Amino acid sequence: MPLPRYAYLSDVWRDGIFDNKVVFCTGGAGTICSAQVRAMVHLGANACIIGRNVEKTENMAKDISTARQGSRVLGLGGVDVRKPEALQEAAERCVKELGAIDFVIAGAAGNFLAPIDQISPNAMKSVIDIDVLGSWNTVKATLPYLIESAAKHRTDGRTPPAQGTGGRIIFVSATLHYAGTPLQAHASVAKAGVDAMAMSVAIEQGPKGVTSNVIAPGPIAGTEGLDRLSKQSEGEAKKIPSGRYGTVKEIADATVYLFSDAANYVNGEIHVVDGGQWHIGTAAGSSSFEYPDFLLSGEAVAGVKGTKGKAKL
């Protein structure tokens, strides 16, 4: 059953602005990335979403396709972003079936809560491999197509692009590493690497017409990440300067902006969508796990959805 438009997209965007374009998204079956892709599909794009779980990815693709009658959304499950050959095959199939790759969302990620002394080497490596190498593999697999799209859709900021925009990539990151976040050393290191990668792509590929930017979501209501990483409460939400958790629609709107004609001259930037949360300091601003008492106690993380004691990855 189709979702109401305002659940994933603001009313300010004109229908059809991404007609005949194709978006390729890793982590596309997740709550945030699926909303990003759904918004693009609603506005005219076709899409290819990538995930590890076959059933979940294929079902999400069918669900996203309800955003616009006649849309084509491929759900490629069983794809591990840590394997470059798997991403290469997925990108080739996307182009073969949909005709191009104009936009890329690098959204696959892994995370859990644990202090440094409870993170195993394998757990650290897993997060780095998924977030950093997964993003790298996504860039390597899709960059030739992005360069081709950018050449067809270059803009000068003075005249409307005749065939719309293209040749753009967004990395989905986080704000964890800006001021430091307890229990998130692994993810902080990984996301800092993702941010650096996005800047390198912007600098090196910008002359070819490619734009590379980052979206850094804050706490977004109803997402798997917030369920796994926070003891949610009304009191916690009030500590955010905007006084509430964010919505997936607000991440989708940022995505549409960065891929649209409105962001032609935005390149190599980090677009934070967090209601101002990171400015207050994550360690002192959250009572989920009191700092530093919880760390000094040596206890394993508990009371968060999906947590099963000390990390064993």
Question: Active-site residue numbers?
Answer: 173, 191
In angstroms, the CA 127 to CA 181 distance is 16
Identity of residue 240: I
DSSP 163-185: T----EEEEE--SHHHH--TT-H
| Sign, Cα dihedral of 122, 125, 127, 130 | negative
In angstroms, the CA 128 to CA 119 distance is 13
C-alpha to C-alpha distances, 42 to 13, 30, 72, nearest whole angstrom: 10, 18, 11
In angstroms, the CA 137 to CA 127 distance is 14
Residue 117 CB neighbour total at 10 angstroms: 8
